[in-house]
Chains A and B, each alone.
Chain A
Amino acid sequence: DTGVSQDPRHKITKRGQNVTFRCDPISEHNRLYWYRQTLGQGPEFLTYFQNEAQLEKSRLLSDRFSAERPKGSFSTLEIQRTEQGDSAMYLCASRPNPGLGFTDTQYFGPGTRLTVL
C-alpha cells in the first residue's frame, strides 16, 4: 500500500506528558500537511511543509507543538505538556508538487487519535 500512513493510530496519555506522532507521506509527494480534528468538527489546518521547510503554521499551533520533516520525507508532530484540550484526531495529508499531469488533491492518512486523561 503506498498511501499516507500514520503511527500510532491511537494514543492515550496523562496530562502533562509529551507525545510524538509520525506521518509517512506518499513517496513522491513533496508537500505535507498536519490537521487537527475535534469531535463533530471538520479538520483544522495546523502546519505545512514543502520538502523539509516548514512554510506555514496556524495560530492553532501553540508553542507546545512542534513539527519537523527532516530530509523532506516523514514528518513528526510533538506535543509537549499535553492538556485535555489537546484530545483530538491528528491527521496528516500529502500532495505532489503542482505541475503538468498532477492534481492538487490532498491524500490523507488514517489519523492518530489522541486522548489526554
Chain B
Amino acid sequence: DAKTTQPPSMDCAEGRAANLPCNHSTISGNEYVYWYRQIHSQGPQYIIHGLKNNETNEMASLIITEDRKSSTLILPHATLRDTAVYYCIVRVRYGGSQGNLIFGKGTKLSVKP
C-alpha cells in the first residue's frame, strides 16, 4: 500500500471550512484514497473514500487531483465536535493484505471557537 504524507496539525475556526491535505505521490492506479478520523478516546470512524472523481457525503467532501498524487478532505462547516485526528490512507479496495488499514500519524485538527 502507498505511503501518505499529512501535516501533523492544523487549526480551524468554528463554522469555517477545514481543508486537510494529503500527499500520496506513489499511489497506484487501483488504489483508493480513504479518510478516517479518530476523536479522542474513541475508535477511528470512516469518513469518505474515492478513486479519482471528487466525492461528497453528509460528512465531508473529497477532492482528488487529476494526477491523483494528492487529495484534500473538506469539512465545509467545522464544529467543535470535528476536533480529531484525521487519517488519510491509500489502499486497494477490498484487498491488500486481507484489507487491514495502514495508518500514519494523521493530522490533528483543532477546531477553535
Q: Tell me the A residues contacting B by CB distance below 8 Å.
A: 4, 31, 33, 35, 40-45, 48, 50, 55-56, 91, 93, 95, 98, 104-111
Contact = CB atoms under 8 A, between A and B. Distances in A.
Contacts of B105: 40-42
A44 B99 contact: no
Contacts of B98: 31, 48, 50, 55-56
Contact of B94 (A41, A104, A108): A104
Interface string B38-51: 00011111100100
B100 A33 contact: yes
A42 B46 contact: no
A110 B41 CA distance: 7
A40 B98 CA distance: 26
A42 B106 contact: yes
Contact of B100 (A40, A45, A107): A45
Contact of B44 (A31, A98, A104, A108): A108
Interface in B78-113: 85, 87, 93-94, 97-106
A104 B98 CA distance: 11
Contacts of A104: 93-94, 99
A95 B104 CA distance: 21
Nearest to A33: B100
Interface of B: 41-46, 49, 85, 87, 93-94, 97-106
A113 to B, nearest CB: 8
A31 B95 CA distance: 12
Contacts of A108: 43-45
User: B100, B102, B103: which has the most chain A beta carbons within 10 Å?
Assistant: B100
Nearest to A47: B100
A48 B43 contact: no
Most buried by A among B99, B105, B106: B99
Nearest to B89: A42
Contacts of A43: 44, 101, 103
A111 B105 CA distance: 18
A41 B103 CA distance: 8
B38 to A, nearest CB: 8
B104 A42 contact: yes
